[in-house]
Structure 1
Amino acid sequence: MEGDAAPTADMIRAQLRRLRIAAGMSQEDFGRLVHYSGSMVSALELGQRPLDRLFLARADEVLTTGGLLVYLLKLAERDGQPSWFRPWLDAERTARQLRCFQPSLIPGLLQTENYARAVIRCDDLLSDDEVERRVHARLDRQSILTQPDPPQLIAVVDEHALRHTAEHMRGIMVEQLTQLITYAQRPPVSVHVIPAEVGVHVGMSGPFTLARGADGGWVGNLENQLAGVVVDRDGDVATLLSRWETVRNEALSHRHSIDLMKEAVDSCT
């Protein structure tokens, strides 16, 4: 954990040590119960190694915390998000409807763990620990779709996003497309595919997402190679809503989109 996430990470380490001592366990005793060495427990408590989700999950079980340490890790991961992304996370978390267009990738809220890892790992400037942190942060965002009152998610993807045929991606794509079909067959998710035969269309300018809040107002998000931009000016939001209608109209129906996704699965096997 680095940067803004450091205070939360330090709090997790302090809580871990306090709970372990309160339970009357040495680092060696505790390590045996969570299947880590005593030296590893010491390194984690001292901040000499990054916090490990599996370790904290086992620690929660042994210390009967009710999931406190893993929950605090989620907060730390959110604190570690770039400052430009946090306003969008807040909009996404409170949205009543999300409209997402992606021309080249499966939308993040619908990605499998292995697909997310493959995509994030494309950035060779990231360490393995940072890749894993970003993967878990992305998967945690998906919890909005399984909460008691989830937002409606309407996703439009280009057919090209379904057809990564490199040999090392085939198994990952079968898993990803199978999950995408499962999502598309049940509320609150709807997935529509723009077939390759459409050719040039306005969405090729880049991906965007729109979120409608409980008050009915819209906010948009644009991502680029360096960062992202939250769009909330009325004129800009109106432009994105107009472009959404265009790409949605280019896409296939719900049923035909599922048929195309199933055909893409067959082409990977």
Structure 2
Amino acid sequence: MVDEQDGRARDDQRGERPVEAPLIEFIRAQLRRMRVAAGLSQDQFGRRINFSGSLVSAVETGTRPLDARYLTLADRELDTGGLFMELLRVATRDGQWFRSWREAERNARILRTFQPNLVPGLLQTEAYARTVIAAGSRLTEQEIDRRVAVRLERQAILTRELPVQLFAVLDATVLGRLIGTRAIMREQLDHLVAMAELPNVDLLVGPAGIGMYAGLAGPFVLAAQEGNGWLGYLDNLLRGQIVTLPDEIDSLQEAWECVRSEALPRQHSLDLLKEAAKTWT
């Protein structure tokens, strides 16, 4: 489920771009080194793998997350024997993949997220997040504490000086699903009401009883990057997947338009959130 993995990226001492996991940094450095060794400019390399030179630059400098499609083509063009994809598999196994998405999330101008099962991580209270992270897991208390802290830190993008514009659609069943205790649910619903009243948060609810619609296929996030187009993020029980291919992004955008059209208007959604909060008293 989207948001159920949290990375460990930390801001560097200057408060600039967060430091990436060492293996992710290594992959980026080797991409650049091998491209230069092949005598190719960023534009030339981009043309050979059907990407723009500016995207090649964004990948190498860390302003765009790594993705499997790019690395597969880089392996083929640079004749690495599959080195970069193997390194990516190791990074995924070690939980470093999500750190790249956190970077994209932090740098996004706009986020669009749909969640049919749970409150999105960016809108979770501490108690709700702790219950979700601990559920059915074998994590130690220390690891649970760490993941909760990371999730809460991610939420700073909504209240910083230049906040991200968040558009979120929740399925109505999320409001009635008991997570933890009734007190946790009341706190969480009150928090959703408060967040929905922020000028940069557009929180909509898909009403109960509308039947089958595209969003029920699963949760997803879309992030608009300054100068780098849209990125998508999917998640499952094993790992996350960053989506960059144009046709796949188009499919996610179509799914977004579908769930957005099914949702109640903003004020009606806010009224529903307030009514739902009362039921947990």
Displaced runs of 4 or more, over 3 A: 74-81
Q: CA deviation at 1:86?
A: 1.7
Find the aligned partners of 2:22 and 2:142 in 1 and give their Cα distance: 16
Q: CA deviation at 1:208?
A: 0.1
Residue 236 of structure 2: aligned partner = 224
Find the aligned partners of 1:78 and 1:191 in 2 and give their Cα distance: 36
Find the aligned partners of 1:237 and 1:192 in 2 and give their Cα distance: 22
After superposition, give the CA deviation of every residue in 1:65-93 in whole Å (9 maximum; x if it has no partner): xxx8xx9xx97999998222122111101
Given that 1:164 and 1:170 are in contact with CA atoms closer than 8 Å, whether structure 2 keeps it comes out as: no
- Which has the higher relative contact order, 1 or 2, with Cα contacts under 8 A spaced 6 or more apart? 2
Q: CA deviation at 1:169?
A: 2.0
Find the aligned partners of 2:22 and 2:126 in 1 and give their Cα distance: 18
Percent identity of equivalent pairs: 45
Find the aligned partners of 1:77 and 1:134 in 2 and give their Cα distance: 16
Residue 130 of structure 1: aligned partner = 143
Q: CA deviation at 1:101?
A: 0.3
After superposition, give the CA deviation of every residue in 1:15-74 in whole Å (9 maximum; x if it has no partner): xxxxxxxxxxxxxxxxxxxxxxxxxxxxxxxxxxxxxxxxxxxxxxxxxxxxx8xx9xx9
Given that 2:20 and 2:100 are in contact with CA atoms closer than 8 Å, whether structure 1 keeps it comes out as: no
Q: Return the structure number with greater helix share.
A: 1
Find the aligned partners of 2:279 and 2:224 in 1 and give their Cα distance: 36
Given that 2:169 and 2:203 are in contact with CA atoms closer than 8 Å, whether structure 1 keeps it comes out as: yes
Q: CA deviation at 1:259?
A: 0.9
TM-score (structure 2 length as normaliser): 0.66
Question: SS of 1:176's equivalent?
Answer: helix
Given that 1:116 and 1:135 are in contact with CA atoms closer than 8 Å, whether structure 2 keeps it comes out as: yes
Given that 1:219 and 1:230 are in contact with CA atoms closer than 8 Å, whether structure 2 keeps it comes out as: yes
Residue 108 of structure 1: aligned partner = 121
Residue 187 of structure 1: aligned partner = 199
After superposition, give the CA deviation of every residue in 1:106-138 in whole Å (9 maximum; x if it has no partner): 010011000000100103211111111000000
Find the aligned partners of 1:77 and 1:126 in 2 and give their Cα distance: 21
Rate the CA distance shift 1:199–1:82 in 2: closer, same or farther, 3 A. same
Find the aligned partners of 2:258 and 2:245 in 1 and give their Cα distance: 20
Residue 36 of structure 1: aligned partner = none
Residue 238 of structure 1: aligned partner = 250
Larger radius of gyration: 1
Residue 40 of structure 1: aligned partner = none
Q: CA deviation at 1:146?
A: 1.5
Residue 258 of structure 1: aligned partner = 270
Q: CA deviation at 1:216?
A: 5.9
Q: CA deviation at 1:165?
A: 3.7
Q: Which runs of 5+ in 1 are unaligned?
A: 9-67
Find the aligned partners of 2:22 and 2:111 in 1 and give their Cα distance: 20
Find the aligned partners of 1:78 and 1:171 in 2 and give their Cα distance: 41
Residue 83 of structure 1: aligned partner = 96
Find the aligned partners of 1:217 and 1:267 in 2 and give their Cα distance: 41
RMSD across aligned positions (CA): 2.5
Rate the CA distance shift 1:196–1:78 in 2: closer, same or farther, 3 A. farther
After superposition, give the CA deviation of every residue in 1:171-213 in whole Å (9 maximum; x if it has no partner): 1010011011011012111100001111211111110000001
Find the aligned partners of 1:267 and 1:246 in 2 and give their Cα distance: 29
Q: Which runs of 5+ in 2 are unaligned?
A: 1-6, 24-90
Residue 131 of structure 2: aligned partner = 118
Given that 2:220 and 2:234 are in contact with CA atoms closer than 8 Å, whether structure 1 keeps it comes out as: yes
Residue 205 of structure 1: aligned partner = 217
Q: How many residue pairs align between the two structures?
A: 200
Question: SS of 1:196's equivalent?
Answer: coil
